[in-house]
Structure 1
Amino acid sequence: MPQLNPNPWFAILVFSWIIFLSILPAKVMNHISPNEITPVGAEKHKTDPWDWPW
């Protein structure tokens, strides 16, 4: 039963993961986010207590 022989399938698995881990991250990281992150100031915002109507 050739499907139980792990030698060729393990090599295919290892080579495919090497390809995925070497090519795909570079392609994914080349995309630019449409919303650039802007740093928020360190000042605290003033919060008012909520007046509940009941």
Structure 2
Amino acid sequence: MDPKKTLTWFFSLPAVRYAQIFIVMAVDLLTLSNLYPKHSSYIARPFLLWEDNQ
């Protein structure tokens, strides 16, 4: 069998497609979570600024 056709067939399988989508979404979420600073109190408690300080 032609290797190009074999690869095309493999990557067109529904399970492989779902795995690709899952991997991309997981990497995106990990990347976005690493962009947020862990020490930022605004991100940890976003409604803190809206409290009435009286």
Q: TM-score range by the shorter chain?
A: 0.3 to 0.5
Q: Which has the higher contact order (CA 8 A, sep 6+)?
A: 2
The answer to which structure has the higher helix fraction is: 2
TM-score by length of 1: 0.39
TM-score by length of 2: 0.39
